[in-house]
Amino acid sequence: MAALTTAQIAELTALSRDIHGHPELAFEERHALAAISALLEHAGHRAERGIGGLETAFRARVGPSEGPAVALLAEYDALPEVGHGCGHNLIAISNVGAYLIAAASAARLEVGVELIGTPAEENGGGKIELLRHGVFDRVAAALSSHPAGQGDWSVSGTGLGVVGKRVTFTGVASHAGSAPEKGRNALNAVIRLFVGIDGWRQQLEVDSRVHGYINDGGKAMNVVPARAEAIFGLRAKERETLDGMVERFGEIAKGAALLTGTNVEIGEYLPYYEPVKANRALGDVIAEELERQGVIPERGVLVTASTDLGNVSTKVPTDWVRFPVSERPVPGHSEQMRDASVSDLAHRNAMITAEALGAAAVRVATDRALRERIAR
């Protein structure tokens, strides 16, 4: 099986540092797209940009030009203020590297291998849009990766589903000093919503989550706020549980409105990210390739974060590698994680991940019986 060359490792590391040094938010990843495309084109591959109606999405393909494909999914968006505190620069290079490895075996591939650039994982659900526009219709299996600030190597991890809600209360403004009785305090409604959720948490399953913040609590100290708003995320391991949580959350919000004489509107803040359902047969292949490089991954770990990779996993056999970026645990979405995501250790483990994913992609793309087993 082909391995990354010294020159390719240097180019991929430089790409990682470039993306890391130019953090871009969801659907705005133009610098990252240009940098990845330039590397691919230098290696003799064409990146088809703007797929699925998304400006910063792309696709490259090797092997048979038509029919099914094994997909390697790259991400490259960053977080507000923190930058690459989730290490998507590493997701990008590990999947680009895997694609380059697969490309070295292009002549013997029975089905294609595609590198799909998927923007807006952090906020916006780029993969959901790509699914909706048919980008995954011919994908036989999807592989990807994610850096981990906590713990060791893992394969076939599951993940919590999440949905984001924007809750807006409207009341009646009045002067808080001279006529407070004439007002209907929208901020009080938000506060009661938080209190109601705190009580509700006692009945939630141990791996379910509700969390949020107030992003509008009024404009002046002496005015009863007529408008207040909060953003919430709800997470659960199973879709049925999450659906029930969404219904209950709406009831609590309506109760807060009744208590305060206000009106409430609940809108979408983040589209529905499905729980990740890992394909164990596909994960077996990835784990075997990691073991060839001296890495023994954990299997089936529950990841209590969420990703739109879950939506792909409900439609296509999917598995992923989580690889460490620090010798000591660091919190996700933090400055510590941002710094760890450009460390020598992170780059070394990203290259191991690239070689394992690339080898796994080639095995799937050259073994019909394996593809049939994965599809069951």
State pLDDT tens for residues 105-122: 999 999 999 999 999 999
Q: What is the value of pTM for the model shown?
A: 0.94
* Confidence class for position 303, pLDDT limits 50, 70, 90: very high
User: Any residues with CB less than 8 A from the CB of 130 and at least 6 apart, and which?
Assistant: 51, 52, 54, 57, 116, 118, 136
∠ CA 127-87-78 to the nearest 5 degrees? 60
283 DSSP assignment: H
Domains defined for the chain, CATH in brackets: 6-158+276-375 (3.40.630.10), 161-273 (3.30.70.360)
- For residue 230, give the nearest of 253, 209, 262, 246 by alpha carbon: 253
Residue 271 burial class via C-beta count within 10 angstroms: exposed 0-12, middle 13-18, buried 19 and up: middle
Our measurement of the distance from residue 155's CA atom to the centroid of its chain's CA atoms, rounded to an integer in Å, reads 16
∠ CA 209-215-220 to the nearest 5 degrees? 145
* Helix segments in the chain, DSSP class H: 6-21, 30-42, 88-103, 126-132, 186-200, 239-260, 280-292, 309-313, 335-340, 344-365, 368-375
Rounded CA separation 155/157 (Å)? 5
pLDDT in tens, 247-275: 999 999 999 999 999 999 999 999 999 99
pLDDT of res. 264: 98
* Confidence class for position 129, pLDDT limits 50, 70, 90: very high
Helix (H, G, I), strand (E, B) or coil at 175: strand
Give the torsion sign (CA, 193, 198, 203, 205): positive
* Confidence class for position 336, pLDDT limits 50, 70, 90: very high
Helix (H, G, I), strand (E, B) or coil at 71: strand
Per-residue CA distances from 266 to 170, 232, 259 (Å) = 12, 10, 17
Rounded CA separation 227/185 (Å)? 8
Q: Which two tokens stand for residue 161?
A: 């589903």
pLDDT in tens, 157-208: 999 999 999 999 999 999 999 999 999 999 999 999 999 999 999 999 999 9
